[in-house]
A and B are shown apart, each in its own frame.
Chain A
Amino acid sequence: MTGDRMAAAAAVPAIRIRSLCKAFGRNRVLDGLDLDIGRGESLAVIGGSGTGKSVLVKNVIGLMRPDSGSIEIDGVETVGLTGRARDEILAKFGVLFQGAALFDSMTVWENVAFGPVHNLGMPRREARDAALAKLAQVGLGRVQADRYPAELSGGMQKRVALARAIATRPQILFFDEPTTGLDPIMGDVINDLIVECVRGLGATALTITHDMASARKIADRIAMIHGGRIIWAGPAGDVEESGNEAVDQFIHGRTEGPIRTAVHVS
């Protein structure tokens, strides 16, 4: 590859979202949202509860179909893709769901081994060893590996879900509220693990959160969603001096400001 072409490839963002719209009945959740996430970048989308953060991620993954707009992954338009083409895109993804979403009919190691067994065709014995290694990476031992998810604490479940998300060595990782529902210390453990995993894989990461401490720790760049659009985006270090009233209000947790007004009007 020539230098020029490499530069061009690097300039294609891992995720490029344009004019994304998604409504449920009259509830216009995403309303012309634009967002770019560069290769190897870790971006956090912050915003209040119910502002459509999870809906955004589900549209990008393909669990929901946008009403209109464009979502490109590595330069490939993914809206409306089905079948094998969709599977190829999905193979690049690793997802940590808001509620961990572990398969409760399977043991912990079977959860982690699911992707390798079903998608990479890895034999079960080998997949078990690989799963144990991934679990060790998130600080879980053999004792937990043979348990069922319901027998683990919330923090442990999140760690298993993280191990499952990275098990197929995906290029693009999605974390939906990774620290919500955890105590601050366990939350920080998860943050550290996420940073470690993303760096280890050299992956692109999109983290959804309303936890500012988590966003600052995980992300290179922060974007704020409000009213169905990204109203501010910038380097994580600049979020304090965004000059945007809504961002200021959100990161300082104030009740007075544009966000509250918007809630009352709609």
Chain B
Amino acid sequence: MNAVASVGRATLNFFAAAGRLTLFAGMGAMHCVRPPFHFRLIGRQMIEVGYYSLPVVGLTALFTGMVLALQSYSGFARFNAESAVAVIVVLSITRELAPVLAGLMVAGRIGAAMAAEIGTMRVTEQIDALTALSTDPFKYLVAPRLIAGTLTLPVCVLAADLIGVFGGYLVAVNKLGFNTSAYLKSTVQYLEVLDVVSGLVKAAVFGFLIALMGCYHGYHSRGGAQGVGTATTNAVVSASVLILAFNYLITEAFFAR
């Protein structure tokens, strides 16, 4: 009996939370497209999300490209190796690894930072003060972050695509002794626009999700410093899980026939 009750309660809580989140996302998205826009705030967030994430995203992509070349060579591509390694590197990077790994890294950095900042503003009544100064916190805090996340992560991922492929090239040419021009030719030959575009669409969705989770958990945090800590953790964990789930859904939408 008790078990049934607790399952029921958990289910109710889940749907209540899903409803709250959907409402929050809808409100946020509405303020993203409806003027006025706070360009100064959007700009600041874009620098925060994009520029300061580039080093970590770049390093992640570089090592991932390098390890991909090594693994695909030693694992299953000793025959006809030049073209196989190049194709595996470029497709894995653009379709999957650049968006997912950049998304996870940025979730750790930016999702946490957003949740901590907005959460602190919540528990120190700064959000109430904003409202009392007739400023909608959705317009002023949430929308700029959602816009910045959605627009900036694709740029990061495009950079990660280039750096990742470059990492693979470095290993292939310097360590595996491949021919430079043959490797580059295979890289370009089998790459389609859709591979890159699907990765960038993923990046835009992930960027939105990261900012959404940061804002949502920050906005609803309560109970002082501990509450802000919980909000930060929840923002990162939920953003990461959502990234992996949506990665599957978007891949299916693009490539399942």
Contacts and interface: CB of A to CB of B under 8 A. Distances in A.
A93 interface: yes
A99 B125 contact: yes
A93 B129 contact: no
A95 B132 contact: yes
B135 interface: yes
Contacts of B130: 103
Interface in B59-76: none
B63 to A, nearest CB: 34
A97 B134 contact: no
B134 A95 contact: no
Nearest to B36: A118
B128 A97 contact: yes
Nearest to B131: A63
A101 B128 contact: yes
- Size range of the chain B interface in the assembly: 10 to 19
Nearest to B132: A95
A97 B133 contact: no
B133 A63 contact: no
A21 to B, nearest CB: 21
Contacts of B120: 104
Q: Report the contact-size class of chain A (Cβ under 8 Å from the partner).
A: 20 to 34
Interface string A182-225: 00000000000000000000000000000000000000000000
B126 interface: yes
B134 A91 contact: yes
A114 interface: yes
B164 to A, nearest CB: 34
Interface centre among B129, B132, B134 (most CB of A within 10 A): B132
Nearest to B135: A118
Interface string B128-149: 1111111100000000000000
Interface in B10-38: none
A148 to B, nearest CB: 13
A103 B128 CA distance: 11
Contacts of B131: 61-63, 90
B132 A63 contact: yes
Contacts, number: 48
Interface string A60-104: 011100000000000000000000000100110101011101111
B124 interface: yes
B129 A61 contact: no
Contacts of B124: 99, 101, 104
Nearest to B38: A118
Contact of B125 (A97, A115, A118): A97
Contacts of A95: 129, 132
Contact of B128 (A63, A91, A119): A63
A95 B121 CA distance: 16
Contacts of A102: 126, 129
A104 B135 CA distance: 16
Given A90-B134, A119-B134, A104 B126 contact: yes
A146 to B, nearest CB: 19
B129 A103 contact: yes
A103 B126 contact: yes
Interface string A103-145: 1110000000011001100000000000000000000000000
B134 A61 contact: no
A36 to B, nearest CB: 22
Given A104-B120, A118-B135, 13 more contacts: A58-B128, A63-B131, A90-B133, A90-B134, A95-B129, A95-B132, A97-B129, A99-B125, A101-B126, A103-B121, A103-B130, A118-B134, A119-B134
27 contacts: A61-B131, A62-B131, A63-B131, A87-B134, A90-B131, A90-B132, A90-B133, A95-B132, A97-B125, A97-B128, A97-B129, A98-B125, A101-B124, A101-B125, A101-B126, A101-B129, A102-B126, A103-B126, A103-B129, A104-B124, A104-B126, A105-B117, A114-B133, A114-B135, A115-B134, A118-B133, A119-B134
Interface of A: 58, 61-63, 87, 90-91, 93, 95, 97-99, 101-105, 114-115, 118-119
